[in-house]
Structure 1
Amino acid sequence: MPLVLASTSRYRRELLQRLALPFECARPEVDETPLSGEAPLDLAVRLAAAKAADVAARHPGAWVIGSDQVADLEGRPLGKPGTVDAACAQLAAMAGRTVRFHTALNLTRNGESFAALDLTEVRFRHLDAAEIARYVAAEQPLDCAGSFKCEGLGISLFEAIDSRDPTALVGLPLIALCGLLRRAGFRVP
């Protein structure tokens, strides 16, 4: 069965490669701007479904994986910082706090759809401005929600990570995805 990842994220692509299933990637054309008053969880669910639907419309007959992750700091969504200054500001705001990461999955084909959610909570340790600046300079996490890469040096910023799936924080919860793929008829492993 054809499988398409509705993403150009190298992080999601690398995670999906772990499952040893043939797939291709396609860029979803979706406006990721939060709706007025939209909660972080609702934003993640809406965007995962929209990404899958957009790419599925261009790949009839293929199963399409849509995924989105939204960092939630006390009910406020945090996006990808894009700049060094924004990354430093995000990390300063999260220092000493717990941030929730909502990761939504949607697997779609010809109007049929399966969905899953993952919640990961990250407890940041207290960070000073010099630590934050050194980290951002070292890893340049400008394309990552929450301004860190937990699979790299970003792990040094935390007191704890509470999650059912260690891949969820990177952006594609493989445990949940395997369940959706099996429901769709894929043989994993």
Structure 2
Amino acid sequence: MVSRQNDRLILASGSSARRAVLDGAGVPFTARPSSVDEAALKPTLAHLSPADLALALAEAKALDVSRAEPDAWVLGADQTLELEGGSMDKAEDLAEGRARLAAMAGRTHSLHAGLALAKGGQVIWTHLGRADLTMRPLSDAFLDAYMADEGPQALSSVGVYRLEGPGAQLFERVEGDYFTILGLPLWPLLAELRRIGIIGT
């Protein structure tokens, strides 16, 4: 894909999964993780639903980098996990991760993936994707083996799984966009990138 000479896209994220999605789709970009302190910001957003929280965090990340790179298009992204109305943060350690999987086993949770494009310190476009995932019942033996195999990399996801890896074995049903599950709803984003000229039509 060819970008316009003066149009650059910056991904305001350090997520390897999001970078892989953009790379795989042939989107030209550079990565510059935002300096947003999510732990400090989230208490001020506690009144938001899990879906709205994902969008608010995506906007904050896009704006943070856009202020430093005003001439570029900046893509912010965030994902939240909702279980029975409550939002979860990433597990702190493997024991907490295992307990989370045990709590989600046999139940359905939702992933909300927020995207925000900013330029010149202003948010120009947003999108919110959702996927509903139903875990199968999980035995203690399976959980022990899964956590041992995945190790600390499982903690990179709020759900303690990589659907593109062994985490696929956790589920019996998934409803929604695969790219939304990876944290980057791709097709709406590609449509907007075509509209603004980052990729060709």
1:15 and 2:27 correspond:
no
**What amino acid is aligned across from residue 31 of structure 2 in structure 1?**
C
Cα deviation for residue 133 of structure 1 reads 1.9
1:170 and 2:182 correspond:
yes
Cα distance between partner residues in 1 of 2:67 and 2:182:
27
Cα deviation for residue 148 of structure 1 reads 0.4
Report if the CA contact (8 A) 1:48-1:104 is conserved: yes
Name segments (4+ residues, structure 1) moved above 6 Å: none
Report if the CA contact (8 A) 1:19-1:188 is conserved: no
**What amino acid is aligned across from residue 160 of structure 2 in structure 1?**
S
Cα 1:119–1:112 change in 2 (3 A) is closer
**What amino acid is aligned across from residue 189 of structure 2 in structure 1?**
L
Deviations for 1:137-161, whole angstroms, at most 9, x for unmatched residues? 2123111111000001111100111
Equivalent of 2:64 in 50, 54, 58: 54
Using structure 2 for the length normalisation, give the TM-score: 0.88
Q: Which has the higher helix share?
A: 2
Equivalent of 1:156 in 169, 172, 193: 169
Report if the CA contact (8 A) 1:82-1:143 is conserved: no
Cα distance between partner residues in 1 of 2:57 and 2:37:
8
Partner of 1:2: 8
1:132 and 2:143 correspond:
yes
Using structure 1 for the length normalisation, give the TM-score: 0.94
Q: Which runs of 5+ in 1 are unaligned?
A: none
Aligned Cα root-mean-square deviation (Å) = 1.4
Report if the CA contact (8 A) 1:107-1:180 is conserved: no
Deviations for 1:37-80, whole angstroms, at most 9, x for unmatched residues? 43211210110000000011111110001010001011111222
Partner of 2:4: none
Q: Which runs of 5+ in 2 are unaligned?
A: 1-6
Cα distance between partner residues in 2 of 1:129 and 1:58:
48
Greater RCO structure (CA 8 Å; 6+ sep): 2
The more displaced of 94-103 and 73-82 is 73-82
